[in-house]
Structure 1
Amino acid sequence: MSCTEGSLQETVKVEGNGRNTDSISSDINHTDTLSDDIGVLLGNRDFSDIILVVNGEKIPANKALLAARKVTFRGLLYGGLKESGEGEVVLNQTNVFAFRILLRYLYTAKISLAEYKDDQLLEILGIAHQYCVFKLQNAIADHFKRTLNCKNVCTVFSTAQSYCLTSLTESCLCFADQHANEVLLTQGFLQLSIAEVTQLVSRDSFVAPEINIFCAILNWVKAHPKMRSAAVEVLKKHLILSQISRRDLLKIVWPSKLLASDILLDVIDKQDEAELKLLRKLTEEDEKCPTTI
Structure 2
Amino acid sequence: MSKNKLLPKLLQNLSEILNDEEYYDITIEVGNDPYIKIFRAHMVILHYRSPYLRRILLTNKKKNDGTLTHIKLPNISPEIFQIISRYIYGGKLSLNEYDNSDIIQILIAANELCLQELIPYLQSFLIKNKANWMKQNFNLIHQTSFENDSFSELQKYCTDLMTKEPIKIFNSLNFSSIPEKLLITIIQNDNLQMSEIQVWEYVLKWDMHNIQNFLLMS
Q: Offset at 1:74?
A: 1.3
Alignment pair present for 1:76 and 2:56: yes
Q: Offset at 1:72?
A: 1.1
Cα deviation digits, residues 138-171 of structure 1 (max 9, x gap): 1111112213123134422221111222232112
1:125 alignment partner in structure 2? 107
Structure 1 residues 202 and 144 mapped into 2: Cα distance closer, same or farther (>3 Å)? farther
Task: Select which of 187, 191, 195 maps to 1:205.
Answer: 191
Which protein shows a greater Rg? 1
Name the count of aligned residue pairs. 200
Task: Select which of 171, 189, 192 maps to 2:178.
Answer: 192
**What aligned pairs does 1:146-225 form with structure 2 within 5 A after superposition?**
146=128, 147-149=130-132, 150-164=135-149, 165-221=151-207
The residue type paired with residue 196 of structure 2 is E
**What aligned pairs does 1:1-293 form with structure 2 within 5 A after superposition?**
7=1, 30-55=6-31, 56-77=36-57, 79-81=58-60, 85=63, 86-87=67-68, 88-146=70-128, 147-149=130-132, 150-164=135-149, 165-221=151-207
Q: Offset at 1:199?
A: 2.9
SS at match of 1:97: helix
What's the % identity of the aligned pairs?
Answer: 19
Q: Offset at 1:119?
A: 0.8
The two structures, once aligned, show a CA RMSD in angstroms of 2.7
Structure 1 residues 189 and 47 mapped into 2: Cα distance closer, same or farther (>3 Å)? farther
Structure 1 residues 61 and 168 mapped into 2: Cα distance closer, same or farther (>3 Å)? same
Unaligned runs of 5+ in 1: 1-6, 10-26, 229-293
SS at match of 1:47: coil
Kept after mapping to 2: 8 A contact 1:148/1:172:
no
Structure 1 residues 191 and 141 mapped into 2: Cα distance closer, same or farther (>3 Å)? farther
Structure 1 residues 97 and 190 mapped into 2: Cα distance closer, same or farther (>3 Å)? farther
CA distance in structure 1 between the aligned counterparts of 2:205 and 2:143, rounded to whole angstroms? 18
Structure 1 length normalisation: TM-score?
A: 0.60
Kept after mapping to 1: 8 A contact 2:30/2:39:
yes
1:271 alignment partner in structure 2? none
Q: Relative contact order (C-alpha < 8 Å, sep 6+): which is higher?
A: 2
Kept after mapping to 1: 8 A contact 2:176/2:205:
yes
Unaligned runs of 5+ in 2: none
Kept after mapping to 1: 8 A contact 2:24/2:40:
yes
Structure 2 length normalisation: TM-score?
A: 0.78
The residue type paired with residue 131 of structure 1 is L
The residue type paired with residue 59 of structure 1 is F
Q: Offset at 1:219?
A: 4.3
SS at match of 1:59: strand
